[in-house]
Amino acid sequence: MQDNDFDLIKRFLSGEEVAFNLIVKKYQKKIYWHARQMMGNHLDADEVTQEVLIVIFNKLKNFNFNSSLYTWIYKIVTTRSLNQIRKKQIKRFFSIDDNDGDELQDKHDIVEELDSKEKLEKVKKVLQKIPPKQRQIFIMRNFEDLSYEEISEITGKSVGGLKANYFHALKKVLELTNEKK
Amino acid sequence: MKKNEERILKYISDQLTPKEKIIFEEELKKSDQLKRDYDNIKLQLDDLSIGNELGTNEIYFSNLLPKVYQKIDQKKKFRKFGPIYYLVPTFSAVVVLFLFIFNNKTTNDTGYKDLANEVVNNLSDQEVSDKYLTELETDPANYVSNQNNDELSVQIPSDLEVSSDSYTRLIGNPLANEFSTLRNLSDNDLETVYEKLNSTTSQKVQ
């Protein structure tokens, strides 16, 4: 997979734009779903996804081939998602963005099946109540099956710190799911 | 449950030492309660996991790339002409700011500054004392009359009587001077007033 990714990057750097299209096709869903779980809604996730793809296009020339493309992309997604959350918190503080506009979200949402929607809503209600950094590690461990070492490479945090963070995230998630019962 | 929960979560988050981990796994095989609690927590967490089975609208992902290229083109154009968009309002703001600052300085400060400079740079203490204070001290009436020459030429009726109480009131309340007819008296009347005033003050002092 890594060789294939490196090959795609080299082709892109030599001017083959189609190589970028292949990178996007390969990673766009992973990018979107990480952003979606972090943000809790489609419109913000869409904004983050597009932003990430633009960053990849512009910064791919600086890729140093020391890490995998997957890890490099993940670094961008996690940073941009956290930034977007901060931006939203600031907007909410100044009452520029006082609600999520549920009707608008529904209209644009790409999840169409009712069962999927219900499940997503259930997860959202829990995840949006835990701190963003705990949410981030919970998503990476539970939904994306990443190892602590991979998460450490992406976030730049120690494995020990990540384990502690994940422990607190799990505790909070259980508290919230038990509250509902 | 609470007692086991902490250990189970530490086990799941890989926070147990290798030794603790072996003990926990052994206990998990033997203790029904621990096994029940562990399964229960696992179930709750699995219930929250989302796999690839979510039914999504694939058109969104097909349209994503064209949207991204469109934004990249827009950014390229902005980078090309961007400086102009920034420079025009920035330059206007700087001009307005300069005008505001210099206008304020000329209207408010120049008068005071010139006067202060004249006193500080051109006049010595002796000169200030000779030119302004001596004249005022030695002949205040003349000093004032020189200043208000035009107003003093107005004639006051000769039969005007002024009671001695009025002089006292005038001295006691200098503000009243401003609104009195004193400044409109003729030279003779003024001299009379001055003498009476003088005698009244000396009486008061004594």
Mean pLDDT of A17-43: 93
Cβ contact A167–B10 (<8 Å)? yes
Nearest one of A1, A3, A26, A23 to A12, comparing CA atoms: A23
Question: Three-state SS for A111?
Answer: strand
DSSP label of A96 = S
- Which of A56, A78, A110 is a domain's end point? A110
Nearest one of A166, A125, A120 to A142, comparing CA atoms: A166
pTM for the structure as a whole: 0.65
- Read off the tokens for B46: 């699995």
Whether residue A153 sits in one domain with residue A64 = no
- Give mean pLDDT in consecutive 10-residue pieces for chain B, a chain of 206 residues: 86 94 94 94 86 75 92 81 72 84 62 67 67 59 54 54 55 53 70 76 56
Whether residue A117 sits in one domain with residue A101 = no
- Read off the tokens for A47: 């904004």
How many alpha carbons lie under 13 Å from residue A141 in its C-beta half-sphere?
A: 23
B56 touches chain A (CB under 8 A): yes
pLDDT in tens, A15-25: 999 999 999 99
Nearest one of B29, B88, B9 to A173, comparing CA atoms: B9
Q: Name the minimum distance, in Å, from the CA of A111 to any CA of chain B.
A: 4
Whether residue A39 sits in one domain with residue A122 = no
Name which of A139-143, A164-168, B145-149 the model is least confident about.
B145-149
Name which of A78-92, A153-167, B18-32, B68-82 the model is least confident about.
B68-82
| pLDDT > 70? residue A124 | yes
User: Which chain A residues have a beta carbon less than 8 Å from that of B37?
Assistant: none
CATH number at residue A179: 1.10.10.10
Closest residue of chain A to B59, computed from CA coordinates: A110
Whether residue A100 sits in one domain with residue A38 = yes
pLDDT of residue B94: 87
**Percentage of chain A with pLDDT > 70?**
90
Cβ contact A120–B54 (<8 Å)? yes
Whether residue A170 sits in one domain with residue A117 = yes
**Could you give the CA distance from residue A167 to residue B14 in angstroms, rounded to a whole number?**
9
Range of the domain at A159: 112-181
Whether residue A83 sits in one domain with residue A32 = yes
Cβ contact A110–B56 (<8 Å)? yes
How many alpha carbons lie under 13 Å from residue B1 in its C-beta half-sphere?
A: 9
Whether residue A106 sits in one domain with residue A160 = no
Whether residue A120 sits in one domain with residue A93 = no
- Which of A63, A90, A110 is a domain's end point? A110
CATH number at residue A39: 1.10.1740.10
Mean pLDDT of A155-164: 95
**Could you give the CA distance from residue A127 to residue B186 in angstroms, rounded to a whole number?**
97
Q: Say which of A28, A33, A58 has its CB closest to residue B64.
A: A28
Cβ contact A167–B5 (<8 Å)? no
A167 touches chain B (CB under 8 A): yes
Provide CB contacts within 8 A for A33, sequence distance 6+. Answer: A143, B50
Whether residue A86 sits in one domain with residue A173 = no
B1 touches chain A (CB under 8 A): no
Mean pLDDT of chain A: 89
The number of folded domains in chain A is: 2
Question: Three-state SS for A129?
Answer: coil
B113 touches chain A (CB under 8 A): no
pLDDT in tens, A102-117: 666 666 788 877 888 8
Whether residue A126 sits in one domain with residue A39 = no
Gyration radius from chain B CA atoms? 49
Whether residue A173 sits in one domain with residue A153 = yes
- Which of A73, A91, A110 is a domain's end point? A110
Nearest one of A157, A134, A153 to A72, comparing CA atoms: A153
Q: Which residues pair with A111 in a beta bridge?
A: B56
Task: Count contacts between A and B (CB, < 8 Å).
Answer: 87
Mean pLDDT of A35-43: 93
pLDDT of residue A51: 96
pLDDT of residue B130: 66
Whether residue A122 sits in one domain with residue A106 = no
Identify which has the larger pLDDT, B94 or A158.
A158
Cβ contact A111–B9 (<8 Å)? no
Provide CB contacts within 8 A for A128, sequence distance 6+. Answer: A40, A135
pLDDT of residue B120: 65
Identify which has the larger pLDDT, B9 or A88.
B9
